[in-house]
A and B are shown apart, each in its own frame.
Chain A
Amino acid sequence: MAPVGSSNLNAAFAALSDATRRAVIQALLARPRRAGELARTINMSPPALSRHLRVLRKARLVVEEGIEADARVRVYRLDPTAFGPVRDWLGQIEKLWEEQLLAFKQHTERSRRVHRPRP
């Protein structure tokens, strides 16, 4: 997990404090999109959008890629590693329950005659 207050995390949250940029993330959750398509989806001029995309790229929430067929076309997609802390947080809760269930299993199997299925 990224340490609390790490600069990556702060940049990510600062980037997400803007409604337009959240709309971009939301649109990219469905699938990667071209810049022009993104601009239409969130109803914004391409120059205005490109400023927001720059912030999202700097925060490493979004990555920009070219496509082989046409070097002029830029495609944007989410960078899943930026969202790692979110997943890690739910992972911690999962870990707690794993530890609890293991303790439950050990107690149960120690204190009860274990069930042996017939071969």
Chain B
Amino acid sequence: MSGDPVRVSVSVAVPPAVAFEVFTGEIDRWWRRGPKFRNAGRRAGFVRLEPHVGGRLFESVDGKDGELIFEVGRVHVWDPPTRLAFSWRNANFAPDEVTNVTVEFAPISSGTLVTVTHVGWGALRADHPARHGLQGAAFSRMIGLWWGEQMTSLRELCRQLD
């Protein structure tokens, strides 16, 4: 489902090639730490993005019995210095549930505009644990699929009417 994009941009004062290189090659250096952003929580570990189509985006965590790997997704577009895309699964997703992230690097006068577009959230079932804010007994699976389909239009409507 592509109709429910989350889109966020930031400008960085470096050329696209450098922005792409830092975004991918130094992902562990900038990816935020703590339980909100990493499975590791406060344990040691690292995030890595393998630099080719089919490469993994994963987190390695130092567990009690050795290394734990949390695979977030796989690279499906590797097009430096302009575009990168990968699948995205949170740890609590069912096997068939997947969302997709595209990162674009556009040259601007002050450097590069980096835009992340994350789509597919509306296709997740409505009682999904990823939807913390909407959990509740009344939020049954029965209305879930419908809710997912309607979410985009509802969101647009809210924006228009706000």
Contact = CB atoms under 8 A, between A and B. Distances in A.
Interface in B97-114: 109-111, 114
Contacts of B13: 108-109, 114-116
A112 B12 CA distance: 11
A104 B162 CA distance: 31
A108 B22 contact: yes
A97 B116 contact: yes
A13 B135 CA distance: 11
A21 B23 CA distance: 46
A90 B152 CA distance: 10
Interface residues of B, number: 54
Nearest to B112: A115
B1 to A, nearest CB: 13
Contact of B133 (A85, A97, A98, A111): A85
A37 interface: no
Interface in A88-119: 88-90, 92-94, 96-109, 111-112, 114-117
A6 to B, nearest CB: 8
Nearest to A7: B138
B158 A25 contact: no
Given A1-B133, A104-B10, A107-B26, A117 B143 contact: no
B136 A102 contact: no
B22 A114 contact: no
Contact of B110 (A86, A101, A115): A115
A72 interface: no
A99 B154 CA distance: 25
Given A87-B155, A96-B37, A97-B116, A115 B6 contact: no
Interface of B: 4, 6-15, 18-19, 22-23, 26, 29-32, 36-37, 109-111, 114, 116, 118, 121, 131-140, 142-143, 146-147, 150-151, 153-155, 157-162
11 contacts: A16-B146, A22-B143, A83-B158, A88-B133, A89-B134, A90-B6, A90-B121, A96-B36, A96-B37, A108-B18, A115-B14
Given A4-B132, A22-B143, A85-B133, 10 more contacts: A17-B138, A83-B154, A87-B154, A87-B155, A90-B4, A100-B37, A102-B10, A105-B114, A107-B29, A108-B14
